[in-house]
Chains A and B, each alone.
Chain A
């Protein structure tokens, strides 16, 4: 079951955290409630690390990573970089890149094998990302939106994209990334999936406003929880979600 949480009364979980299969980074908050929710689920499995990037708490928007590495923007200070290098597991390479679009979390979306990128990123950044994260990078738009990181989220099991993505675009992205994709929403109708939630191969965290339907879609597509039947979203769940097919 996806876990609902809030960062200081804000439902945009994906803005304040970054979750991968090897580590989890959360923002520094006034109360430790947000951190505790992650710790609860992930204790002993992967390290949960407090960090800031460029002095900001919006670390989910600022960095991108997977099990192989973490990429931070040039505005990240030396101390923050060192702190990340110290706290993250040994196999994870932390790199700082000179990219003019510094909100890397909005600009890239990736899993352990493939990544989607904003069409205007530098060639150099694309190469560093491909190299450090060990992914194949595709410059794509999602529902005509360039900020692929904000409007899509995918793991090795599956992904959710902007609700207004056409069926053809969905098929194309799905075949590029080699994971099943669904067009959906999170946080009660919010289109920013990447900003609204985080997920890895076995758990997901979303805002408290997320409806039960959205949570069941998340559980199904990311294959989270027991008895998460992969194909249920096409069969049993379809009737409760789809009203009419035009």
Chain B
């Protein structure tokens, strides 16, 4: 298969499901503890045009529709950067149908020469959420400056002092990821390395900083004792070594969800991701 660029992930994802799955009721014990395992074979694929709907669905998890960001444009832009990014899909890929995309790992550079609506709305979103957050004044200025320096009005990206990449790590909730993670992250870093040399004038991939938005949930009565859980477990390690971070809320399907943006220096990011 020409678009399967990596070897099959030799994993059998095990998912323990409760007994309320489909299947004849007579055979399955209705005991809630007696789950069974489902074996899934998944393969990493490049982002292609027919994955548009799957990618958009995963992006919606991170960026609910209430935000002023066009997810269609974003999905198109991720597909367009054809050397970067990996999707996790079923191994038996049906032809051109609407495949289910289980996970997405990609990196989108904010340092581009062409001023698109997408780029402007992404930057404005990050900066406005930062300004509105409860981060320290120092952090806010630092962040705004880094984002501000990572592009130039006249489109001359070579002169930019900083180069920021937005790291995307999305998957179906509760999908076991420990086996797939190292391969997906590893290949992403390799792809970014290769991309550094090409297209230097239009888009830069020699990132000085990586930004990532984590889905978090805060529990606890008062704001001091709030216990933060990261929906993507591996992101907690990144959070511990982030140079700065701030929280913001988004409204998704009439409920308020929390997000945390982390900004990491490139070397720190590369070190942590290699150890995942």
Which A residues form the contact surface with B (CB < 8 A)?
A: 8-10, 188-189, 208-209
**Number of chain B residues whose Cβ lies closer than 8 Å to a Cβ of chain A:** 7
Contact indicator per residue, chain B 37-53, by CB within 8 Å of chain A (1) or not (0): 00000000000001011
- Give the CA-CA distance A10 to B64 in the complex, in Å: 12
- Give the CA-CA distance A188 to B72 in the complex, in Å: 10
- Give the CA-CA distance A208 to B75 in the complex, in Å: 14
- Give the CA-CA distance A208 to B71 in the complex, in Å: 11
Q: Is B65 located at the chain interface by the 8 A CB criterion? A: yes
Is B72 within 8 A of A209, CB to CB? yes
Tell me which residues from 51 to 91 in chain B have a Cβ below 8 Å from any Cβ of chain A.
52-53, 65-66, 72
Check A208/B65 contact, CB under 8 A, given A189-B53, A189-B98. no
Is A208 within 8 A of B98, CB to CB? no
Given contacts A189-B50, A189-B53, A208-B72, 7 further A-B contacts (CB under 8 A): A8-B65, A9-B65, A9-B66, A188-B52, A188-B53, A188-B72, A189-B98
Say how far B162's CB is from chain A's closest CB, in angstroms. Answer: 31
- Give the CA-CA distance A204 to B226 in the complex, in Å: 51
Name B64's closest neighbour in chain A (CB-CB).
A9
- Give the CA-CA distance A8 to B254 in the complex, in Å: 13
- Give the CA-CA distance A189 to B66 in the complex, in Å: 24
Name A191's closest neighbour in chain B (CB-CB).
B98
- Give the CA-CA distance A209 to B98 in the complex, in Å: 15
Name A11's closest neighbour in chain B (CB-CB).
B72
Say how far B186's CB is from chain A's closest CB, in angstroms. Answer: 32
Q: Which B residues are CB-close (under 8 A) to A9?
A: 65-66
Q: Which A residues are CB-close (under 8 A) to B98?
A: 189
Say how far B106's CB is from chain A's closest CB, in angstroms. Answer: 20
Q: Which B residues are CB-close (under 8 A) to A10?
A: 65
Most buried by A among B52, B65, B66, B72: B72
